Amino acid sequence: MRSMARRGLAIATTLALLAGSAACGADEGSSRGPVPGVTDTEIVVGTHMPLTGPASAGYSKIAPATKAYFDYVNANGGVHGRKISYKIMDDGYNPANTQQVVRQLVLQDKVFAILNGLGTPTHTGVLDFLHSNRVPDLFVASGSRSWDQPDRYPATFGFNPDYTVEGKILANHVKTALPGKKVCFLGQDDDFGRDSLAGVEKVLGADAVVARQTYVTSNTNVAPQIGAFKAAGCEIVMLATVPGFTALSVGTAARLGFSPQWLVSNVGADHPTLARQLGDAAGLLDGMIGVNYLPMQNDTTDPWIQLFTKVNSEHNGDAPFDGNTVYGMAVGYLFVQVLLAAGPDLTRESLVEAVRKGGYQGPGVAPLRFSTTDHSGYGGGRLSRISGGVQSYFGPTYETDEEDGPVNEYSAPPVAPPANGVPTA
């Protein structure tokens, strides 16, 4: 009898353990138990951002702009009756700090998702941690192709056009409008620079780039790199640089008596940010060509700029308005769209499935490409030029892939925002 009792106790204990395991599994996004970061009245999400450090110029404004848009949505009733709370953690653009703050957001703050974590070298270091903890990792603020790995990282999605796509678009302009000129390339010494260079070489060919240089954000002296370009007789310099290093490159070139045609990744091409960095020397930016995929920050006739300017005034302390403000609010708008699509019975699984569903339209001039097989985000962009201190679009919007496909014109017009500025399900 005692033997049977012991067996009965063992079976009961095993069942209890299995029930406990099921409860733990439910905590990761099943409707059978509590969902991290979600209550009947609130959705808590988090991010890592360079509020300080070498990439803080301009980028420190992104998350406050996203939060301002969430505050605007909250003031208009929230999403399915829930208010969005946004926890913003400063990582100083330091990968070691990123790992620390993301662990805090996930393990201590129990956020529902990580939204728009910024930086190629920083976010790369937390991909496996977020994947193993089954945390949705949405709209990474970087164009690295690392985010577009649906099989390896099924809950990670990009936002920016990937750097190879924009490298191809910039190179296509060189090929068609500036043929025969000596091309040089300066890129950040990570996937940002490498992926961008890959796009340039796919269009122009490796032999067309006569000099290649890299930089690291811990060293603000780019005179050796710019000096090498001058010595090589470069007529065009293509930059895969964060804003601080775009400004450093332009300022250093002027000091060395070197004045090439600059073509710059969207990452480092926002004119208001660069002008603040260069101060009285901001005129050096005239003629710079960039690529962008969101409404131009100074286009007051654009309905999205009108909406975001209103939100900035009402919920962001009327902070100086630039491309980073537009970017942050565009991310917020997309996240609200996805939350609505995920439905009122919100889980991590339903959120990820809502992104995979795709079909989203918003402020972007290029298409969003989310699907079960594509996690890359925006798929193209439009060229801009700075003239007389004003940054403006010119020419058509282009789209392309990260492989060897052509650079094609994209003709679908952008959609207008809803009347009240808040998307509907």
CATH number at residue 175: 3.40.50.2300
Within this chain, do residues 183 and 232 fall inside the same structural domain, yes or no? yes
Inter-axis angle of helices 271-278 and 323-342, nearest 10: 140
The pLDDT value recorded for residue 33 is: 75
Within this chain, do residues 69 and 115 fall inside the same structural domain, yes or no? yes
Q: Extract the tokens encoding 215.
A: 């930089």
Q: Is the pTM above the cut of 0.95?
A: no
Give tens-digit pLDDT for 14-51: 333 333 333 333 344 444 579 999 999 999 999 999 99
Q: How far apart are CA 120 and CA 189, in angstroms?
A: 10
Within this chain, do residues 216 and 151 fall inside the same structural domain, yes or no? no
Quick check: 344 and 425 in contact, CB under 8 A? no
Within this chain, do residues 223 and 205 fall inside the same structural domain, yes or no? yes
Q: How far apart are CA 340 and CA 327, in angstroms?
A: 20
Q: Is residue 132 part of a domain?
A: yes
Q: Is residue 215 part of a domain?
A: yes
Looking at this protein, which amino acid is placed at residue 94?
A: N
Of 244, 268, 292, which residue constitutes the final position of a domain? 292
Q: Is residue 393 part of a domain?
A: no
Q: Is residue 263 part of a domain?
A: yes
Within this chain, do residues 142 and 204 fall inside the same structural domain, yes or no? no
Q: Extract the tokens encoding 9.
A: 């106790």
Within this chain, do residues 142 and 48 fall inside the same structural domain, yes or no? yes
Within this chain, do residues 231 and 261 fall inside the same structural domain, yes or no? yes
Of 292, 327, 360, which residue constitutes the final position of a domain? 292
Q: Is residue 218 part of a domain?
A: yes
Within this chain, do residues 67 and 146 fall inside the same structural domain, yes or no? yes
Give tens-digit pLDDT for 73-121: 999 999 999 999 999 999 999 999 999 999 999 999 999 999 999 999 9
Q: How far apart are CA 111 and CA 362, in angstroms?
A: 25
Q: How far apart are CA 246 and CA 225, in angstroms?
A: 13
Within this chain, do residues 192 and 134 fall inside the same structural domain, yes or no? no
| First and final C-alpha spacing in the chain | 62
Q: Is residue 333 part of a domain?
A: yes
Give tens-digit pLDDT for 244-281: 999 999 999 999 999 999 999 999 999 999 999 999 99
Q: Extract the tokens encoding 266.
A: 């969207």
Of 257, 292, 327, which residue constitutes the final position of a domain? 292
Within this chain, do residues 280 and 167 fall inside the same structural domain, yes or no? yes
Q: Is residue 242 part of a domain?
A: yes
Within this chain, do residues 52 and 89 fall inside the same structural domain, yes or no? yes
Give tens-digit pLDDT for 354-413: 999 999 999 999 999 999 999 999 999 999 999 999 999 999 999 999 999 999 999 998
Looking at this protein, which amino acid is placed at residue 234?
A: C
Q: How many domains does the chain have?
A: 2
* Owning domain of residue 191: 163-292
Within this chain, do residues 287 and 173 fall inside the same structural domain, yes or no? yes
pLDDT band at residue 425, thresholds of 50, 70 and 90? confident
Across-strand partners of 324? none
Q: Is residue 174 part of a domain?
A: yes
Q: How far apart are CA 361 and CA 114, in angstroms?
A: 21
